Amino acid sequence: MTQALATTEPQVSSARLSSWKLLFNNRLAAGGLVVLVAICLLAALAPLLPIPNPDATFPANRLQPILSEGHLLGTDHLGRDILSRLIWGTQVSIAVGLSATAIAALVGSLIGLVSGYARGVTDNVLMRGIDMLMAFPYILLALAIVAVLGPGLLNALYAIAIVNIPFFARNVRGITIGLANREFVDAARLSGKSHAAILFTEVLPNVLPVIVITMSTTVGWMILETAGLSFLGLGAQPPQSDLGSMLGEGRRLLFNAPHVSIIPGLMIFALVMSINLLGDGVRDVLDPRLRAGDLTRPLAVTRIRRKPVPAPTPAGDAAAILEVRDLETSFQRGRATVPAIRDISFSLDKGECLGLIGESGSGKSVTALSLLGLVASPPGIITGGTVKIEGEDVLALPEGRIRALRGAKVAYVFQDPLTTLHPLYRVGEQIAEAITTHQPVGKAEARRRALALMEQVGIRDAAARIDAYPHEMSGGQRQRIGIAMALANDPDIIIADEPTTALDVTVQARILDLLQDLRKERGLALLLITHDFGVVAQVCDRVAVMKDGEIVEAGATAEVLRHPRHDYTKKLIACVPELGQGAGFLDRVRPLFAGGRP
């Protein structure tokens, strides 16, 4: 434990790394930055470089190949030096791309700011206009604009800028709406600042990261598209030339002198690629959701890396269907591994109900999920202990065997069935799927059994509800579906993780009764996870109290309720309001929490 804490320290400080450092830690982004700076330097220094005049023609010297004397990259159809034209053309392309970005950012952000701040009619009119612009295929609108203004580099620049305005307007508006109702904006308004002053001094600084992100993701496009218009002959007109028009002119010589068109294309590619790499890096740094880096795919089974692989001990309790010894599950935070639950030991007999109680964050759900390796991994790792089901260590089993246990011998009922049922499948299909996964039955038979299960868990008019989607049902009905799904394969153990928390009190009581009945009827063992001692008192034979990832007290429910030994248990028990005892409830409870957390 101390070791784990020690390794956490550097992680904490690394979270405070400056944005620049983060950017450089991203190797691709750093590579993009280096290439981009090199290209920009080359373009900016064009007047100082010892290169020939890009427009000087030498017809006698035309179409020299690459690496010919005096012309590193050869010459084009008029004998002009390609290297020189490339550098000058790059300068034009970058300038045009940046100008278009600046215009689009300026106009688009302004629209977004005003729209998001003013709301109402202004917002509606502006946003419908933006929607109209977006209803055009991207390039097509630019073409229409160039068609009206006439071909030319400046007109192409305007066209591309206009086409990109919606991206800025939408992104900025989205953030502004959220900011416009915040306290600091209200405070500024009350202090008598004008709307314009509020927009530019209070809102704008907070919107800037979004503008920067949008710029970094669109500038590459804009360079690409202005080059495209020039390629079509609608942008830069001779003698002026950018990378696109070089490519367009060279295209006519594709068969005789491919290098004339391939080289400028390569430059566009290098430029846009470096910008995109850098842009991705900038976005990762500025967008906190992505910085968290939590979007890793969870594995089928939680990774198991038990440090001291436990020696096979003889089963202590022969009657126990589930026996957990010294279970430890940790989470990876950066390079450190921090335990979430430690030394968890308990056992569950056939037909018994064990309550696992504790406040949120005490590790009770992690405990429940660890039993069959369902903790999201990464970041979860099971780092120690054993989980024995009928004497066999589950954590030592191969993935396929663990999967065969899931839903068959051990079934889960989760909290909040709105998010735990699949929103796109009918409830009947979801129950039937649980059946066909473990039993060799046909579709029709699975459906028949699903219907029977739904009736058994007390869904009225089950035949009509079997084809409903989860969102078409009430919270209580959804929870019943979750229970029906858990019962599908006649399991020996049900692990119910806060099965009634999302429900109102009357429904809660009915669901608990249902679980009790099923337990008696089928003799199944129930591990009930809850934060409510009232629920425990009503259903459980024994109870284990969890706090900060450890079990602090365990015993028969009646015993623990009567003589709680741990302070924390006393607090939890005191927190159950009793009918008719409401008066002075807070006064009774408050002293127990003196000096501590709520």
Task: Give residues 466-525 in contact with other proteins (rule: CB under 8 A).
Answer: 469, 471-472, 485
Which stretch in 194-202, 326-334, 419-427, 566-574 sits in contact with other proteins by CB under 8 A?
419-427
Residues 177-200 as b/e (b if ≥16 CB within 10 A, e otherwise) read: eebbeeeebeebeeeeeeeeebbe
Contact with other proteins (CB under 8 A): which of 111, 374, 459, 560?
374
Contact with other proteins (CB under 8 A): which of 180, 198, 215, 405?
405
483-484-486-492 Cα dihedral, nearest 10 degrees: 100
Between 139 and 574, name the residue whose CB sits nearer to other proteins: 139
Alpha-carbon distance 70 to 66, whole Å?
10
Alpha-carbon distance 543 to 301, whole Å?
28
Q: Is 306 in the site for other proteins (CB under 8 A)?
A: no
Q: Is 261 in the site for other proteins (CB under 8 A)?
A: yes
Between 244 and 564, name the residue whose CB sits nearer to other proteins: 244
Alpha-carbon distance 332 to 378, whole Å?
7
Contact with other proteins (CB under 8 A): which of 31, 52, 151, 351?
151
Interface with other proteins in residues 538-567 (CB under 8 A): none
Between 144 and 463, name the residue whose CB sits nearer to other proteins: 144
Q: Is 296 in the site for other proteins (CB under 8 A)?
A: yes
**Token digits of residue 149:** 């203004």
Closest distance of CB 197 from other proteins, Å = 34
Between 145 and 509, name the residue whose CB sits nearer to other proteins: 145
Closest distance of CB 473 from other proteins, Å = 12
Torsions phi, psi of 361, nearest 5?
90, 0
Alpha-carbon distance 174 to 115, whole Å?
9
Which stretch in 112-120, 137-145, 543-551, 576-584 sits in contact with other proteins by CB under 8 A?
137-145
* Single-letter code of the amino acid located at 376: A
Closest distance of CB 421 from other proteins, Å = 6
Between 294 and 559, name the residue whose CB sits nearer to other proteins: 294
Question: Cα 433 from chain centroid?
Answer: 28
Q: Is 441 in the site for other proteins (CB under 8 A)?
A: no
Torsions phi, psi of 202, nearest 5?
-105, -50
Interface with other proteins in residues 225-254 (CB under 8 A): 227-228, 231-234, 247, 251, 254
Alpha-carbon distance 279 to 290, whole Å?
13
Closest distance of CB 245 from other proteins, Å = 12
**Token digits of residue 453:** 């299960």
Which stretch in 65-73, 349-357, 401-409, 563-571 sits in contact with other proteins by CB under 8 A?
401-409
Q: How many binding residues for other proteins (CB under 8 A)? A: 77
Which stretch in 99-107, 141-149, 187-195, 442-450 sits in contact with other proteins by CB under 8 A?
141-149
Contact with other proteins (CB under 8 A): which of 63, 72, 396, 404?
404
3-state secondary structure at position 529: strand
Closest distance of CB 422 from other proteins, Å = 4
Contact with other proteins (CB under 8 A): which of 160, 272, 450, 473?
272
Closest distance of CB 358 from other proteins, Å = 20
* Single-letter code of the amino acid located at 230: S
For the packed helices 204-231 and 259-286, what is the interaxial angle rounded to 10 degrees? 170
Contact with other proteins (CB under 8 A): which of 55, 123, 349, 433?
433
Q: Is 144 in the site for other proteins (CB under 8 A)?
A: yes
Which stretch in 10-18, 96-104, 370-378, 533-541 sits in contact with other proteins by CB under 8 A?
370-378
3-state secondary structure at position 466: coil
Contact with other proteins (CB under 8 A): which of 92, 322, 336, 434?
434
The residues, ordered by sequence, that sit 6+ positions from 72 with a Cβ below 8 Å of its Cβ are: 66, 83
Closest distance of CB 130 from other proteins, Å = 11
First to last CA, the chain: 27
Closest distance of CB 128 from other proteins, Å = 7
Between 315 and 404, name the residue whose CB sits nearer to other proteins: 404
**Token digits of residue 342:** 């430690």
Closest distance of CB 162 from other proteins, Å = 11
Cβ proximity of 68 and 74 under 8 Å: yes
The residues, ordered by sequence, that sit 6+ positions from 353 with a Cβ below 8 Å of its Cβ are: 519, 525, 526, 527, 528, 539, 540, 541, 542
Q: Is 73 in the site for other proteins (CB under 8 A)?
A: no
Cβ proximity of 495 and 368 under 8 Å: yes
Contact with other proteins (CB under 8 A): which of 96, 105, 146, 257?
146
Cβ proximity of 386 and 348 under 8 Å: no
Between 153 and 247, name the residue whose CB sits nearer to other proteins: 247
Interface with other proteins in residues 189-228 (CB under 8 A): 220, 224, 227-228
Closest distance of CB 410 from other proteins, Å = 9
Cβ proximity of 281 and 23 under 8 Å: yes
Between 412 and 533, name the residue whose CB sits nearer to other proteins: 412
Q: Is 424 in the site for other proteins (CB under 8 A)?
A: yes
Q: Is 111 in the site for other proteins (CB under 8 A)?
A: no
* Single-letter code of the amino acid located at 499: P
Cβ proximity of 327 and 513 under 8 Å: no
The residues, ordered by sequence, that sit 6+ positions from 464 with a Cβ below 8 Å of its Cβ are: none
**Residue 472: other Cβ atoms inside 10 A:** 12
